[in-house]
Every structure is written in C-alpha cells, then in structure tokens.
Chain A
Amino acid sequence: MRITLTILIISFFLGSSSLALAQSTTPGGARTTGSVDFGGRFTSTTGDEARYERYRDLRNGATSHIEVRKDTSKYLFNVRVDNAGYRDQRYGADYDANGKVRLAFGWDSIPLNYSYISSTPWVEQSKGVWTLSKSARQAVQDRAAGVVGIPTTASQLLQPSIYRGLASSFDLQYRRDNATASAKVAASKDVTLDLAFKSSRRDGYRPWAASFAFNNANELPMPLDDRTKDVTAGFELVKPEGMIRVAYDGSWFNNALHDFVWDNPLRATDTNPFDPSGYSNGNGPAQGRMALSPSNAMNVVSVIGLYKMPNHTTLNSSIAFSQNTQNDTLIPWTINNVILPTMQPLPRTTAEAKVQGINALLNFTSRPTQLLGLTMRYRYNRHDNMTPMFDAREYVRFDAVPEETGGETEQFDITQNTFDIAGTLNLTSRIPLRLTYTLDDFKRGGRAFSDMTDYTFRSSLDILQTQYVTVRSQYENTHRIGTGFSQDAIEEGGAQPGLRFYDEADRSRNKGTIIVQLDPATMVSLNLLMAAGKDHYHGPGLEFGLKDNSNGSYNVGVDVTPNDTMSLGANFGYDIYNTHQDSRNANPPADLTAVPPVAASDYGSWFDPNRTWNMHNRERVNNAGMYLDLIKLAPNTDVRFSYDYSDSDNAFILGGPRVQELETGRALSGPSAIVYPGFTIPAPCTPAGSTCFEQLPAVTNTWQRVSLDVKHFFTQKVGIAVGYWFEKLDIADFATVDLPGQPGTPRTDYLGAILTGYGNRPYKASTGFLRLLYLF
C-alpha cells in the first residue's frame, strides 16, 4: 500500500512536470522547476529497532522526496512531499501572490516508536478498559501453591510470574499527525489580515503506569486518542512610524478517553472489608480507575505594538490576556465497590478549573550615538489560578484504602515582575562593552517562600567582525533571595524542616561563556566555545534538597573550504555536570501533643543525623562530529559524508552516614539521636555474607552515526543516488530489566512490578538507499 501510494504520487508529479515543461516558457519568463528523488530503502537492525527508528519510519520499501516550484510574475507556488505513505510522511504547499495573498498548507506525521518487543498480559476489552485473566488473578489472590503474581523477593524472581505466560506481544508506538493551514492577506498597503489553523491528533499507545500498592506497580499500554485544535486570527496595521497587531489565539484539547480502568493482578475481588494496609501489601481493589488528561481550552487576546522614534530609538510592547479552562466530569472517589458506598458525595461533579493570565512586555531601545546604547525592559506576568478549592480530606488511596490524610487542593498563583536595564559602551566601533542589571521578582502562592527575587548582574564584551577574529564573552552573577518563608508550608507536607525546594531556595549563580571564531585565512575557520556555571543553594535553615549544581561545556571546531567544490570540518566537545543533594531516610517523628498522640515508630530517627545520606550525580559527555562535502569535485557527482558521536557516562554516587550504616551493617550512634523510652537504635539489615548496600552502576551510552550520500547525474536532468546510514547505540541502564542471560529480551515481571518491557537497549542498524533523480 505504501509503495503503491509512493508510485502514484511520483507518477502524478512526473506527469505534471512533463505538462509543466511544455508550458514552462510563458510570457514574463514563468518557470516550473523541481526535483523528484525516489527509490528504495533497505534497513537491517540488530537490537532495539524501535529505538533506532524512534521518530522515523525506516521500514524496507520506497523512499520519496519531491519538490515542485512554479514561479510566475503573479505568484509563486511550492509543493513538497517527503516519504509518502509512511508513518513519518510530510506534505506541504505554499502559494504567494506577490505578497498580496499568502497561503500555506501542511501535513506532518511524527511517529514515536517506543518498543517493538513489548508484551502485556492485559487485554484491551474496549478503549481504555484493560482486563486480566480472572482465573490467574484468583489464583494469585488465593495464594495458590507455586503461583507467583508479582515477585516481591529475590527467591520469587527465580520463577516466572503467572502473568508472563499470559503476555502477548505488541508494538508500543503512537503517531502525531499535524495538519496546518494559514492565510495572510494584504488588505491594503498598510493592513494585513492573517488566519491560521492547526489540528494535531495523537493516536496509538504509550507506556503508562497504573498501580495499586507499594508492591504492585504496573505498566500498561495507554491508548491515546486526542486532538488539539488551534486557531489564530490577527489584524496588523503598519506605518512608517511603527505597527500594531491585534490577535486572538484559541486552543482546544479534546481527549476522547476520559478515564482508564484496569484489573488488579493481585486481586480478583475487592478486599472485603478493606485492609487499612492495602496500599502497601496489595490487599486492595479488583480494579483501578484513573482520570486521564482532561479536555481543556485556552483563549488569548493579545496586542503587539512598535513605535519608531528618531535617533535610532524604538519602543515596542505587547500585552496578552489569557484564560485556561477545564471542566471535565470528575470520576468518583474510587472504583472499589466495598469502599465507595461509605464515602461522602463529591463536593462537586466537575473540575471547574480556571486560570487567568496577564502578560505585558515593554522594551525601550535607544542608540543615539555610535558610542552609547541603552535598553530597558519591563515584563509583567500574572498567573491566577481561580479553581475553587476541592475538599479531599477524606479520599481513597490507590482505590484500596479510605483515609483521612488527604487534603484540600492547592492552587499555585504566580505574579512576576522583571525589570532589566542594559547599557552599551562601544569602546571602539568593533568592541562593545555591555552591562546589564536585572531584577526578577516572583510572588507565589502555596509555596514555602511567598516572594523570591533574583538580582542579576551581567557583563559582556565582544570583538565583532574584524578580519581575523570574532569574540563574544559574557559573565553573569545572580543572587536569589526568598522572603516570606513559611515553615508550615514545608512541614505540613510531612517534609523535614530543613528541606528547601531548589526552584525557590536562596541561590548564588555564576556563569560565563566565551565564543571565539578565528579566520586566519579565507578558507579556514576555527571556533572555540567555553561555558561554565555553578549554582550554590543556601539560606537560613537549609539542610536538605539540592545543594550544588555545576556545569561546563567546551567545544572546539574547524571548518575548511579550500574551494567551491570541497568543504570539510570537525568539532569536538566535552560537557561536564555535577550535582549534589542531601536527604534523610527516617520514620516520621512522634507527636505526643496530637489528638490522638502519634508515637514514634522507632527511636526517633527523624532527628538523627546518622540517617542522612547524599547523592552526587556526575555526568560526562563527549561529542564529536566531522563532515566532508565534495560538490562536483568529480564530474556531475556530489558526495556528502558525515559522522557524529556522543558518549556519556552518568554516575549516581550515594554516600553519607546512612549509606555507611548500610555498608557496614552497624548503626552509628550519635549525640543527636533521640532514643525514646523502650526503643533501641536498630542495626541496619545484615543479611549473611553481604552488606545491604550496593552502588548502582553508572548509566552509560555511546551513540554513533555515519551518513554517506553520493549523487551522480548522467545528464542535466537524470541521475542516480546511493545513500547509506549506519547507527550504533551502546547503552547500559540499570533501570532496564532483561531476562537473566538474555540481554535485549525484556523481563516484564520483576520485583514489585508487571511491566511492558519498554526500556533502553542497544542497537546497531544500517539503512541503504538507491534512488533515481530527476530534475526539471
């Protein structure tokens, strides 16, 4: 079917081009030109084929790339076709009547291929409803001898889960189809009207988690069936003094699937009566139900203006008013028929969710002399969440247990004011020095800091457009300071009092960049980039969370163009990232003043610094690339070659007193440990012959790609092309689980989980192209 479609399209364009050639010479020199590039594609893959394809369709078959352009005195018309008939096909057409009317149409399919080696024991009963074998679930529920539902211990891993044998294979993938259309009409010399429409549809399946308890995490193929429609309508008036544009943007997301229901692999029936620990031990419901992404709408009205003043001075501004709404019907508290009758009615039946926004920007720029320049900018952004509070203090956890530990919904309002002033002093005509000061203030509701301000100083020094060298350098220093801190906001969420969230904690940031381009000769260009930065999180009381974050990026490259027929180049880059975070692994503190009192569940680990641990993430990435283009170096022949390489080593190094305890099997005693009467500090687990701690290995991946394309024209119009792609990915990721002794074969039943098998696995692939070329 795909090949047939490709051939039909090729034939259409070849036929049209023949007709166009006969008509190509018209009064005024109108021309029809284009190219047809089609042929065969042949792919061979070992390993994770879906990862190789990812966003492409590289199946064996036909390949096509067509462009036609008709150029007359009255209009210009373009049509483009890529990979017709395949999951990544793309079509486009543009019509331009000398600026009076401009039309554009497009269709672009983007696949996302997760895995071709997935499997699942669930069966899609209907869209959004997935069922499991009732007899298997009953056997698991009854703890039938020799039956493992979801493994929870190392010994259970030695035996396949009952669900492994029930699993069916499937391709886990979906496709996004974007259709676009736009029109721009010059109603007069000064007035332009524009209208644009986009429809984006997603169809297929993606991996989705749907769980029941700490020991019962599942991954299923989630069906996708949604569409987003966007409309833009604008009016623009342009005069020599400036312009103004008024526009409306509307966007509607519609999800054809409201909720998702799936069977519990550990239960055939709802636990009756419910088990208060059901969220932990798996004694929960027979089914789960989850609300999927709600249909929503966004409307924006905006105005943009520009005013030109004398002495190289301009003022431009924009203002936008937006409203986001979502009013989906709410699913019940639970699908559990044992619990649902005991619950109060929902406070309301629909979401009534609404956010209103205002954004304004004002830019003033003046360069009155060759020596000086000034830019001032003010931005206001307001995000008001007006969704009414929803009382869920009584709720149901995991469809398993009704609890009183829920809460009320929180809506996070944000008001941001940013003021920026920059002065430029041209030390010489080619060396501008620029100094900038920015004050960026956030007022936020529902967070630990009600107010957070970034004070930033930037300086840049450039050397521009000299014969041999261009330099761009910038340094930035930012201090973030939070005020209006609420300790309750931290502790009400059950967090350690010393926790600070890194997106609002006090922070010092330093970063700098320098880019150098050297052109020692007209045919050679050398470029160098160095960038480094460090964030340090601090502030009163900060004890836990992200503490430090540093990065560096170094790139060097060369481009050589000895003549019009040859160009080559290479670049090498090295990136380095380090982060450090602190945490504490503890049970909740006692609260003897609470009604009823909450006794400590152990010796008071909440306060024990020996329970503190840290994680240092160290990532190193090497990048390299080279290219060689030989254009008509041999008669009528073009050769293009490129090679890309990326190699990453991403290590997660755990340490600190808690890790030391686990490594040695000995509880550290310390003066800060609070030992409640009747408790002793327990030793960490000490299984015979081993410790209870193993560093996880670094996640490594090395990706390489070779691309070669050779085109040879026998005549001015007809030619042949041979192409070759080679890609190799080597990857080791501890989070991807394969069957023992069978690397590359997913294990779908692992500790605490039934999965689809989607993961990060290596591949090696080659794709060859043999194409015919026709120019007209």
Chain B
Amino acid sequence: MLPGLARGAQVAKPVPADGYAGSEACATCHEDKATSLASTQHGRAGNPRTPAATQGCESCHGPGKAHAEAGGGIGVGGIVNPSKLLPQRASETCTSCHDRGTHALWSGSQHDQRNVGCVTCHSVHAPKGERQIKAASQMELCGTCHKNIVNRQHRFTHMPVREGKVECTSCHNPHGSANVKLLRVGTTVDDSCTSCHSEKRGPHLWEHAPVANACVTCHNPHGSNNERLLEAKLPYLCQRCHVTSRHPPTVYDGFVMRNSQNANKIISRGCVNCHQQIHGSNAPSGQFFLR
C-alpha cells in the first residue's frame, strides 16, 4: 500500500468499478494529494460513508481509468477537479454525501444562490483551519467577502469573537438554515439571540414592542462603538421612537450634563439608568420598565 493511503483500513478495499482506476493508481502521480487526504476524515476507510471506503479519489474526481491510461493532464480522460468547477456544480459533488444534518437546507440557501459553493470555503486536500476551511480562522475566511462585518469585531463593544470564545458559526450556519440571515438556531432573530441570552426570552408580563421583533432594531451583534452593542448612543437611540411630552424628548446636551440632575439621562446607562427592564418586565408595576 502506498504511503498516505487510507489509514489503518481494516476493511477490504473496494474493487474499482468499470472505468475506475483505483486510488493506488491515482497516488502514483498524485502522492501529495493522497498523503494530505489520508490525514482527514475523507481518508478514513473505516467509515463506510467516506471516499476512502467507496471509490477513493474517484468518489469526487470521477472515473479515472481513462485519465490514467492517457498519461494524465488537466481534464484529460474526463477527470474532474471540483475546485475548477463552477461552485454550484462542485457543490453537487459534495452534497451527494453532505446532504444531512446542518447541510440539509443547503440547496437554495443564500450562499448556494450566490455561487458561493463548498469549494469556495473548504479544501479537501489543503485545508488551513478546522473543518477543512481554506483559512486559519473563520474570521479570516468569512472576511474574504464580509470584510465590513468582520471589521466590526474590532469595535469598542463586541462579542468575544476576537478573543476566540465565539465564532461566526456560533450564530450562523453558512450551509443553510430555517432562520433568516442564515442564523443557526431558531426561526427568528430573537430565537437566535435568546438561545444564549435566555434571560431575555420572556415572555414577560410587559413587553417592549421592538424587542419582540427584533433584537437588531436596537443592537448590532457584529460590533459597535456604542455600549452594549447598541446601534446608537443613549439617550438618542430611545429618542428615535419616544417623542412624547416632557423628559423623553428633552434636549440632552452638555449644559444639562454639567448643571442638572437630568444628567442621569446622559451619563452611564442613559435612559436605562431608570428604565432598566428595557427588554421586558415581569413586575405588576412594570409598565414603563422601571421595575
């Protein structure tokens, strides 16, 4: 057995079908690819679902007998290189096996529709990161297209992504999802956010309308230069909606901040210095989220 081929295979090697050359033949010229494959899940012959346990290299690259007999060459003998195919066509190769679990809703998903296929992000033979992605980290990979989003991680308030505690896929399933925005969990934005922030799930006796639909009315989960990932600084964010009488639409400026007790609407937590239960209150006297 050539080095690098399916490690420790205790099962009988499949006999190549008609038109197939067998992985040993492939490794004659492509030893580096065979070696790289062996160290991955695809190379585990003991798993009956892997290429190593079925048609080997030709599970993905197609029958290679004609290619081998012709002496090799790009595309010779009808050999297929998925990384050179259009993404949607390449994805069909991958999803012939990866069509379950978190990949079940791939077809028609946002990435699939935009021709961002499996081989756009993953490499079978030369991965750089976990789960065979083409970059050392998810931030680096996703930032290839979503650089403006990834940059937000360097903002003053942020989820612990750059600290390594949360990744893009902690919230998103890039392979397709039942939720909006490829959110991994639940079926609404709020379902996703409250899967971790379950103390805000409620339902509460007193609901705050923009909270029910949706968290992103007030927060930007990717990063913000305002405290608590807010889209705007308090009190100005609240003043977008609360144009009533007296204090909600008061002009809160530097004069108030230096001279008046109403400075407590500007400093520290702003409006939430009093309206702490802003996500909803379970107190009978909690109509204005003060209790």
B262 cross-chain contacts in A, Cβ below 8 A: 214, 751-752
Measured CB to CB, the closest approach of chain B to A756, in angstroms, equals 9
Chain A interface size, as a band, is: 35 or more
Chain B interface size, as a band, is: 35 or more
Chain B residue at smallest Cβ distance from A258: B282
B203 within 8 A of A: yes
- The answer to whether B207 touches A410 (Cβ under 8 A) is yes
B172 within 8 A of A: no
- The answer to whether A314 touches B108 (Cβ under 8 A) is yes
- The answer to whether B283 touches A291 (Cβ under 8 A) is yes
B274 within 8 A of A: yes
Chain A residue at smallest Cβ distance from B259: A154
Determine chain A's interface SS by DSSP, over half rule: strand
B99 cross-chain contacts in A, Cβ below 8 A: 238, 242-243, 306, 308
- The answer to whether B260 touches A527 (Cβ under 8 A) is no
For window 645-676 of A, CB contacts with B under 8 Å fall at 645-646, 648, 650, 652, 654, 658-659, 662
A510 within 8 A of B: no
A-B contact pairs, 27 of them (CB 8 A): A28-B8, A29-B7, A76-B44, A98-B47, A108-B165, A192-B100, A209-B275, A211-B274, A236-B100, A243-B100, A291-B281, A293-B199, A306-B105, A333-B284, A361-B105, A363-B107, A385-B207, A409-B287, A412-B207, A424-B113, A434-B114, A496-B243, A581-B240, A696-B266, A735-B266, A752-B260, A752-B261
Measured CB to CB, the closest approach of chain A to B51, in angstroms, equals 13
- The answer to whether A332 touches B187 (Cβ under 8 A) is no
Contact pattern, B 279-290, Cβ under 8 Å of A = 1, otherwise 0: 001111111101
- The answer to whether B104 touches A646 (Cβ under 8 A) is no
Measured CB to CB, the closest approach of chain A to B272, in angstroms, equals 6
Instruction: Please tell me which one of the listed residues A56, A74, A306, A555 contacts residue B151 in the complex, with CB atoms under 8 A apart.
Output: A555
A476 cross-chain contacts in B, Cβ below 8 A: none
Of A38-46, A140-148, A162-170, A499-507, the one with at least 4 CB within 8 A of chain B:
A499-507
- Inter-chain CA distance A623–B196, complex, in Å, is 29
B286 cross-chain contacts in A, Cβ below 8 A: 291
- The answer to whether A696 touches B104 (Cβ under 8 A) is no
Q: Evaluate whether A695 and B254 lie within 8 angstroms (CB atoms) in the complex, with A316-B104, A581-B239, A752-B261 already known.
A: yes
Measured CB to CB, the closest approach of chain B to A653, in angstroms, equals 11
Contact pattern, B 78-103, Cβ under 8 Å of A = 1, otherwise 0: 00000010111000100000011100
A603 within 8 A of B: no
B46 within 8 A of A: yes
Chain A residue at smallest Cβ distance from B208: A412
B251 within 8 A of A: yes
For window 42-59 of B, CB contacts with A under 8 Å fall at 44-50
B125 cross-chain contacts in A, Cβ below 8 A: none
Contact pattern, A 574-595, Cβ under 8 Å of B = 1, otherwise 0: 0100010101111111000000
Contacts A316-B107, A617-B233, A751-B259 supplied; 20 other A-B pairs, CB < 8 Å: A28-B8, A29-B8, A153-B259, A200-B198, A214-B247, A306-B100, A326-B203, A331-B283, A357-B187, A385-B207, A387-B205, A390-B284, A422-B113, A545-B240, A588-B246, A659-B253, A694-B253, A703-B154, A751-B263, A753-B264
- The answer to whether B261 touches A735 (Cβ under 8 A) is no
Chain A residue at smallest Cβ distance from B276: A209
- The answer to whether A752 touches B263 (Cβ under 8 A) is yes
- The answer to whether B147 touches A529 (Cβ under 8 A) is yes
- The answer to whether A652 touches B156 (Cβ under 8 A) is no
- The answer to whether B290 touches A397 (Cβ under 8 A) is yes
- The answer to whether A365 touches B251 (Cβ under 8 A) is no
B129 within 8 A of A: no
Q: Evaluate whether A495 and B244 lie within 8 angstroms (CB atoms) in the complex, with A211-B273, A531-B148, A691-B255 already known.
A: yes
- Inter-chain CA distance A335–B267, complex, in Å, is 28
- Inter-chain CA distance A30–B232, complex, in Å, is 56
Chain B residue at smallest Cβ distance from A318: B178
- The answer to whether A306 touches B104 (Cβ under 8 A) is yes
- The answer to whether A324 touches B282 (Cβ under 8 A) is no
- Inter-chain CA distance A454–B174, complex, in Å, is 25
- The answer to whether A585 touches B250 (Cβ under 8 A) is yes
- The answer to whether A584 touches B267 (Cβ under 8 A) is no
A110 within 8 A of B: yes
- Inter-chain CA distance A292–B163, complex, in Å, is 30
Chain A residue at smallest Cβ distance from B249: A583
A694 cross-chain contacts in B, Cβ below 8 A: 253-255, 257-258
- The answer to whether A654 touches B253 (Cβ under 8 A) is yes
A171 cross-chain contacts in B, Cβ below 8 A: none
Instruction: Please tell me which one of the listed residues A71, A332, A502, A752 contacts residue B7 in the complex, with CB atoms under 8 A apart.
Output: A71
Chain B residue at smallest Cβ distance from A307: B107
A701 cross-chain contacts in B, Cβ below 8 A: 156, 225
A132 within 8 A of B: no
- Inter-chain CA distance A302–B186, complex, in Å, is 10
Chain B residue at smallest Cβ distance from A347: B284
Q: Evaluate whether A215 and B261 lie within 8 angstroms (CB atoms) in the complex, with A88-B165, A430-B86, A583-B243 already known.
A: yes
B181 within 8 A of A: no
Measured CB to CB, the closest approach of chain B to A177, in angstroms, equals 12
Q: Evaluate whether A584 and B249 lie within 8 angstroms (CB atoms) in the complex, with A192-B100, A324-B202, A392-B284 already known.
A: yes
B276 cross-chain contacts in A, Cβ below 8 A: 208-211, 290
- Inter-chain CA distance A61–B241, complex, in Å, is 49
- The answer to whether B282 touches A751 (Cβ under 8 A) is no
A337 within 8 A of B: no
- The answer to whether B105 touches A290 (Cβ under 8 A) is no
- The answer to whether B253 touches A695 (Cβ under 8 A) is yes
Measured CB to CB, the closest approach of chain A to B203, in angstroms, equals 4
- The answer to whether B227 touches A760 (Cβ under 8 A) is yes
- The answer to whether B233 touches A735 (Cβ under 8 A) is yes
- The answer to whether B277 touches A290 (Cβ under 8 A) is yes
A546 cross-chain contacts in B, Cβ below 8 A: 240
- The answer to whether A296 touches B201 (Cβ under 8 A) is yes
- The answer to whether B285 touches A294 (Cβ under 8 A) is no
A383 within 8 A of B: yes
A441 within 8 A of B: no
Contact pattern, A 86-108, Cβ under 8 Å of B = 1, otherwise 0: 00100000001011100000001
A562 within 8 A of B: no
Chain B residue at smallest Cβ distance from A236: B100
- The answer to whether A219 touches B268 (Cβ under 8 A) is yes
- Inter-chain CA distance A753–B178, complex, in Å, is 46
